[in-house]
Amino acid sequence: MSGVDGSAAFDALRRAMAENGEEPEGPARNARAEQLLAEAEKLNIPLAVIEALGHQLKVYNYSSEKAKMFVPFARLLRMWDEHPEDFDEYETHALHWVFKWMTAGMLDQPHIPLAAMEKWLGEMEHRYRLAGHSERAVRSAEHSVAAHVGDLERAERAYVAWLAADRDGMADCHACELHEQGWWQAQRGRDEEALELWAPVLEGEFTCAHEPHAALASSLGPLLRLGRLDEARANHLRGFRLVRSMESMRGAYADHVEFCALSGNEARGLELLAERPAYFTDDGHPRSRLDFTAVVALLMDRLTGLGLGERPVPGPAGRSWTAAELAVHARGEALALAARFDERNGTAHVSERTRARMAQRPLVERLPLGVRAVRTAAAPVAAPTAPAPAREPDLPALVAEARRLSDTLRPNAVEAWAAVARAAEGVELDPRDRAEIADHEAMDLGPEGVELFERAAELYAAAGDPGEALAARARAAYVRALAGEVEEALAAVAGPYDEVLALYSVDDTGVRQTASVLMSRARILMRRVHEGDDEAFLSDAESAVREVLALVEGRTGDDVRLAARVAEGQAMLAELAARTGDLPTAAELFTWAATAFVEAGLPWFAVEYEARLAGLLHHLGDPAGTERALRAALEHGGPHLEAVGRAQLHLQLAEVVGGRGGAEEAAEHALEAAHWADEAGEAPTLGALARHQLGGFLLGLGRWAEAAEVLESALPDLSAERHGEGAVVQARWWLGDCLSELGEHREAAERRLQAAEIARHWPEQHDHATLAHLAAESLGAAGLPAEADRAYARAGALWRDLGNVHGLVRSLRARAWLALRAEDGADAARELMADAVRECEAALGDARDDDEEARQRLVGELGHTHRQFGDLIARSVPEDAEDDSIRAVLEEALAQVVEAIVVFGSLGDGALDARTGAELAAGWLAADLGRPAEGAARARAVLHAYGDGDTDGTDGTAQARRAEAEQLLGLMEGQDS
């Protein structure tokens, strides 16, 4: 092949390798690398073969086919030994660099003898010494070998020598080194030290192709063990996004599955297994397969322990699996792999660590993650060992305890009477005891308890308590109202009502029984109010409630039941006040009722009314009061709150706290809301709203990866029908913002365009325009200029229709820059930027004289447009242009920048930074045009503009402007001299 043709073919080969390097990890990329090597061999250029072998080695290393690395490396090493002159500087460095990959690669392959690795270490040390490299990388590799086989003494020696050796060009990057050092500390049980070493990697100070991916995964266990659960949650959500698509990171993926098994997130662990079916069988990297099968066994044992051994689970292809079956299979695979490593190593270290990993117990019952997760089962809680009682409580003791609980309105009174009923089977009880058993069983049945209430009434009567019999009949009437039979309920309660008043008037029953009947009647009348708006209904209900209060108030004493009647009566009056629109009175009465319940020692009864109070105070514009009421409801509900109620309260509190700027705490409440919604089986409804809100708060806190995971989890459940189009659009909008921050621009554009498509149908089009504009930005950043231009044009048309000049001008400027990137696009770019200038000038001509603020904003927009026009013109000079042509273009650019300076100058100090930036740009253009005096004058103008201000250096822009001005001035004065 001729030299010219060969050079062109080599360039094409290099481009093909670069393109292949950008493809996703996996067999397809590896196969393409093999094809490229075959093409390189046809060129008869040794360096082409060397580079193709290096490319092949790299893609093998970053895949599940790591075992293939050894062949191309052996060939490279042979070529180096025979003809080192064929290697350029880069390939020489690369050859020595991948010695480290070979050492790690041998460790990962149990068929390679330990003696071969020791020989390789010696070879690596020898070659590094010949090449003048530090022994740091050698000692790091030695540490890896010693740690793997369990030679802890040698591993510690190598670790110390590794850290003591100088860092040079062969040392692993800072991120990888810190990860490995932290891993060793964690293996030795020093979790705090490990996390301290990982901190710069976890915080993004040091990164590389596999970091912080691996460090985030490794940190999960130590964080759980230390109880740093918020960090563990965040690192799981961040880290899983990074490793999800990277085939070569099966070991880190396994750490995330392990985290799920140890944090009560078994269902999410199953989802992770389902995402990567090939991980069960890929055998090119036995060590990561061992890691994966061990944590699969851990997760399956956990599910089996929860009673879910028969649950279908993802597993190796070719058959279906239950958790119990996969547990046995994965354990066998893991131990067999570990045995192969130990046989090679001559120790039992790998098997011991594998067994220990599979035997781990959960570190927390459940750590809410914010992403959707179905609870697999209630985690068993180990009860403290206590001495066995001498004997089970006898029946009289059970009755006494149940009666105490019901008399004091404890939440578990119904359960206590159920225990009495079980213990009393086959035992003859007196009518009073049987009445109370039936009464409480009826309470537990709700609307289905009518017959049992009637039975209880008969038994109370037989026991000589006619008042309690009437109360039971009244309760039967009330549950009929709960079933929708309000008029029938009113008819049913009329008799007990008249009879109890007659009994009370002659002291044949007490206040408690009478109040019970009157309260049942009031409740029925309140149900009628809820079903209709008749003013007479309101009046009747209020009269009934006040009758209860008139009977009870002043007579409660220490009777908790009577105190509860007073509190409930006040709450009923609050509801009636709210129905008539008297919200301040309603709020006052709900406050009184909640306080009364708390003071009576019944805080759980206050929760409903504190939640109602929160809604009223929110409507009345009292956010502080709303927050106090919601916090009180959560506190007073305690363990008695049902999951759905807890979710609702946390969700409302998140909104209130977030509204006052407390994003951190608001995110915590939204997280709790999502967790309890999932527990309540409300994941698609309430849970989706909570995740939507949580994603927004995390976005506001700059926690992009966590927010993206949460929002992606929310979107499948969010629907226009259930949650409204606004929630769906906002979630996609937020997700687009997250993905943009994460550099996933194509995906960001997709989400923004999806949101824009929904907003396109809205009467108000501002959101549509904004989303179209943002989508255009993402398309441009994704390297899709044609698509970006169309999106900007769409946004510009919308901005024009809305009369938003600023949006229109910015879309035109963006299109101008896109056009400049196209071949022969300079003229189109200039025209678009000129259009932007004309739009600004036209808007200024139409601006109202009485709106100075709007006018100044337009002037600023014009200034920025002139400035960008100048920059665009300056960058439009063709590389092969003649000097005169270049000079003419630079003069034109300078004219635009000078115009920007004049426009910014008209805005005074408010545009100081913009003006000085333009001054410096003009100075540099003057310098390029060979006018040092003008350049110096521009620099002095900038220095004069800032004067002696900001002497403490807090204004970063001023500092940067001064530094650049002094640099420019020094260069210009040097040219003048």
**pLDDT value of position 973:** 83
Pick from 908, 912, 870, 861: which is nearest to 891 by CA?
A: 870
Is 106 a residue whose pLDDT tops 80? yes
pLDDT digits 0-9 by tens, 311-365: 999 999 999 999 999 999 999 999 999 999 999 999 999 999 999 999 999 999 9
Is 461 a residue whose pLDDT tops 80? yes
For range 244-248, the mean pLDDT: 87
Q: How far apart are CA 543 and CA 538, in angstroms?
A: 9
The secondary structure element, H or E, covering residue 850 is none
Residues 6+ apart with CB under 8 A from 826: 819, 820, 876
Confidence at 380, pLDDT banded by 50, 70, 90: very low
Cβ atoms of residues 613 and 587 within 8 Å? yes
**466 upstream amide cis, omega within 30 of 0:** no
Amino acid identity of 2?
Answer: S
2-11, 657-666, 856-865, 935-944: segment of lowest average pLDDT: 2-11
Q: What residue spans of 424-510 are helical by DSSP H?
A: 431-445, 450-462, 466-482, 486-505
Instruction: Estimate the share of the chain in helix, then strand, then coil, as percent rounded to the nearest 5.
Output: 75, 0, 25
pLDDT digits 0-9 by tens, 748-773: 999 999 999 999 999 999 999 999 99
Pick from 146, 174, 172: which is nearest to 159 by CA?
A: 146
Cβ atoms of residues 561 and 526 within 8 Å? no
**pLDDT value of position 376:** 60
Q: How far apart are CA 14 and CA 54, in angstroms?
A: 12
Cβ atoms of residues 515 and 468 within 8 Å? no
- Longest alpha-carbon distance in the chain: 124
Q: How far apart are CA 213 and CA 105, in angstroms?
A: 19
Confidence at 392, pLDDT banded by 50, 70, 90: low
pLDDT digits 0-9 by tens, 878-936: 877 777 888 999 999 999 999 999 999 999 998 999 999 999 999 999 999 999 999 99
Confidence at 501, pLDDT banded by 50, 70, 90: very high
For range 286-299, the mean pLDDT: 97
Is 948 a residue whose pLDDT tops 80? no
Pick from 844, 818, 842, 843: which is nearest to 831 by CA?
A: 818
- Torsion, CA 398, CA 401, CA 402, CA 405, rounded to 10: -170
For range 734-747, the mean pLDDT: 96
Distinct helix (H) and strand (E) counts, the chain: 47, 2
Q: What are phi and psi of 321, to 5 degrees?
A: -135, 145
Burial of residue 431, with CB atoms counted within 10 A of its CB: 0-12 exposed, 13-18 middle, 19 or more buried: middle
Q: How far apart are CA 598 and CA 590, in angstroms?
A: 12
Confidence at 385, pLDDT banded by 50, 70, 90: very low
Instruction: Write the CA distances from 679 to 374, 695, 790, integer angstroms.
Output: 7, 19, 46
Q: How far apart are CA 889 and CA 869, in angstroms?
A: 12
Amino acid identity of 476?
Answer: A
Instruction: Write the CA distances from 266 to 377, 518, 770, integer angstroms.
Output: 9, 51, 40
What is the rounded radius of gyration, in angstroms, for the C-alpha atoms of the chain? Answer: 38
pLDDT digits 0-9 by tens, 789-833: 999 999 999 999 999 999 999 999 999 999 999 888 999 999 999
The secondary structure element, H or E, covering residue 933 is helix 932-946
Pick from 44, 143, 37, 56: which is nearest to 94 by CA?
A: 56
**pLDDT value of position 3:** 53
Is 673 a residue whose pLDDT tops 50? yes
Q: How far apart are CA 269 and CA 254, in angstroms?
A: 10
Pick from 63, 65, 64, 87: which is nearest to 75 by CA?
A: 87
For range 298-313, the mean pLDDT: 96
Q: How far apart are CA 517 and CA 472, in angstroms?
A: 8
Coil, strand or helix at 430 = coil
Higher pLDDT, residue 1 or 254: 254
**What angle (nearest 5°) sits at the alpha carbon of residue 517, between those of residues 511 and 519?**
95
pLDDT digits 0-9 by tens, 166-210: 999 888 899 999 999 999 999 999 999 999 999 999 999 999 989
User: Which two tokens mark 581?
Assistant: 């629109």
pLDDT digits 0-9 by tens, 600-639: 999 999 999 999 999 999 999 999 999 999 999 999 998 8
pLDDT digits 0-9 by tens, 680-713: 999 999 999 999 999 999 999 999 999 999 999 9
Q: How far apart are CA 518 and CA 363, in angstroms?
A: 53
Confidence at 389, pLDDT banded by 50, 70, 90: very low
pLDDT digits 0-9 by tens, 524-547: 999 999 887 677 789 999 999 999
**pLDDT value of position 113:** 92
Question: 104-118, 443-457, 467-481: which has the highest mean pLDDT?
Answer: 467-481
Burial of residue 422, with CB atoms counted within 10 A of its CB: 0-12 exposed, 13-18 middle, 19 or more buried: exposed
Q: What mean pLDDT value characterizes the chain?
A: 92
Q: How far apart are CA 55 and CA 299, in angstroms?
A: 37
For range 121-128, the mean pLDDT: 89
Is 129 a residue whose pLDDT tops 80? yes
Residues 6+ apart with CB under 8 A from 65: 27, 30, 284, 285
Instruction: Write the CA distances from 163 to 102, 212, 491, 943, integer angstroms.
Output: 21, 21, 88, 48
Is 1 a residue whose pLDDT tops 80? no
For range 578-601, the mean pLDDT: 95
Cβ atoms of residues 290 and 337 within 8 Å? yes
Q: Beta-carbon neighbour count of residue 512 at 10 Å?
A: 17
Is 251 a residue whose pLDDT tops 70? yes
Instruction: Write the CA distances from 837 to 269, 568, 804, 809, 913, integer angstroms.
Output: 56, 69, 15, 8, 21
Q: How far apart are CA 367 and CA 262, in angstroms?
A: 9
Confidence at 138, pLDDT banded by 50, 70, 90: very high
Cβ atoms of residues 752 and 782 within 8 Å? no
For range 6-30, the mean pLDDT: 89
